[in-house]
Each structure stands twice: as structure tokens, then as C-alpha cells.
Amino acid sequence: MTKTTLWITLAAALTATGVDYGHAGAEEPIAASRFSITIDGQPVAGVVNASGAAITTKPTTRIATLAAITHEPLNVEVGMGMGQELWDWVKASIDKGHVARDLTIQDNDSVRAPLLAGAGIAAFTVPALDGTSKDAGYFTLTIQPEAVRFVAVEPAAVAAPPQKTWLASNFRFELAGLPSKRVRKVDSFTWKQTLVHDEDGHLRLLHKKPAPLAIHRLVVTIPAADGAAWRKWHKRFAAADDKDALEKTGSLILLGPDMREALATIDLKGVGVRSIEPVEAAKGTPYLKIELYVETISLS
């Protein structure tokens, strides 16, 4: 595993707010091999990189003399072996919106650690998938805390559990009624929700609630030889007044090394087509790049 660094930045000016932020003003690099992340006390496996969670202030409109406390999101890069606790949190967030959890980021030699309280998942990014890739695949999570404070912890090195191997080439894409077995690429895409701030002047914190979810953009690349049915769908879709009736369901299945075991499935509902464009690949093989939209994403 490549040695990475987690930066935790705390603003010294916030000590005047009356909230216990511990050693405010410290900026400490923590080697990835020496820190661990827990969710409600349960360890998260497979983290290869993490950054963010800085604290800042923002003027409020309710009480002009006070500054509300806001927090930069924590960005976490994690492998397929992230563990059930984190996967269930991502799944619940996608299904239900804002699901608040408490996270700690612990230097394994430290007796104090930042607690990210009331944190919600603001974004979940699936990496670019390519049938010719030999790279490992990693998800990126954007986690937005409601509050950050330091808590006492027991120093302990956390042993990494065995990781599930997953390469960015190990996938299968399916879309109902269309030839999909030879989909060559799926561009990186992101499920996201906006966490809206509710001002509370007394605590000088900004509480978060989810805003409506965005429509997701999904781009796939297929051989031009498979394009006839896709073009027919696109033509009908562009001309239809009731496009909902022509939307499809599908799935993106992430596979193990044997290309049979399903490690995870991303279900796609309300899939429509926006555009189909020709692209040239190596050796002149013709391909089509197809831009889709997806109204609903879920994990299974």
C-alpha cells in the first residue's frame, strides 16, 4: 500500500466559541499506516487515503455578532474490502438521504482523536471502469460532519483485515432489452446529495439536512457493432412526449477475480438516453460513447 497522509487542520480562532476542540490550531500529518477510522466504534477497513475535515467559521444571518462553525468534508478513498459497517452506511444514505453517524480518526499511538459527530455521506464516487485496465478500483466518499471535537481513545494499532481483490476491469453492465455484454468502459460517476445548513446561533453550529437528489450522469462505451438497438432506443426516446415510458432499468455489477462472483451490485432505475457519439479506439476499432441519465441509484 502506498504511504499516504491524512491532514487534520483545526483553526485556533475557534477556541473562543466555547466548544471543546482540543488542540485547536494543530496541523498534524498522520501516516496512513498509523491511523484508523471507526464508525460508531466499528473499524473501517480498506482505507488507502483520507484528507480534509478542517474547521472554519461562517457569519450567520440570525445573530450577526456570532460566527457559525462549519467543517470541510472528509474525503476518504476506500477499497472493496471496506467492511459491512461502511457499506451499510453508504447504502442507507443512498436509500434514505442523510443518515448521521459518528466517526473517529485515530492515530494508533494517540490517546485523543477527533470525533466527527453527526456526519453524513454527501457523495459516493465509483471509479472509471475499463475492460482493459489492470488497476485496482477504489471508491471515494465525501463525508460531511456536523461538528468536530476531540475525545479520549485507547491507543491501539489496528490490524487490517483481509481485502477483497477488485480490479477496475472486473465489472458487468446490464441494461434491460439492450446488448450490454460487450460494454468496454463505464466512466466514473458520482451519487451525491447536498446537505443544507440550518443555522443555530446559540450553539454556533450549522445543522445539516439533505436537499433533493440530483439526476445522475452515466457514460458507457460499447462496440459500434452493438449500436443498432441503442440507436433505435435513442431515436424513439428523442421523439417521445412521454419519455418516462421508455426509461429502462439496469445494473452495474462489480466482480471478483474469477469474473463470476458479484462483490457488489449498483442498481439503476429510471435510465434514459441523452446522446450517442462515435469514438475511435486503438487499431481503428469503432466504438460508441453513450450518455445516459439515471434517476435512482441503489446498492445491493
Q: Which of 65, 74, 12, 69 is nearest to 37 (CA)?
A: 74
What average pLDDT does the structure give for the chain? 78
Predicted local distance difference test score (pLDDT) of residue 157: 56
pTM of the model: 0.79
Higher pLDDT, 119 or 19: 119
pLDDT digits (tens, 9 = 90+) for 215-243: 789 999 999 999 999 999 999 999 999 99
Domains 5-168+188-210 and 216-299 equal at CATH topology level: yes
**How crowded is residue 156: how many other Cβ atoms within 10 Å of its Cβ?**
10
Q: Where are the domains of the chain?
A: 5-168+188-210, 216-299
Class of domain 5-168+188-210: mainly beta
Task: Say whether pLDDT at 10 is over 50.
Answer: no
The maximal CA–CA distance of the chain, rounded, in angstroms, is 66
| Cross-strand pairs, 35 | 107
Percent of the chain with pLDDT over 70: 70
User: How far is 239 from 245, CA to CA, in rounded Å?
Assistant: 12
| Cross-strand pairs, 170 | none
| Sequence letter at residue 68 | A
B/e letters for 75-101, b = 16+ CB within 10 Å, e = fewer, are bbbbbbbbbebbbebbbebbeebbbeb
Whether 174 and 185 have beta carbons less than 8 Å apart is answered as no
- At residue 208 the predicted structure's pLDDT band, cuts being 50, 70 and 90, is low
DSSP run (H or E) holding 90: helix 84-96
Higher pLDDT, 68 or 154: 154
Superfamily of domain 216-299: Hcp1-like (2.30.110.20)
Task: Say whether pLDDT at 256 is over 90.
Answer: yes
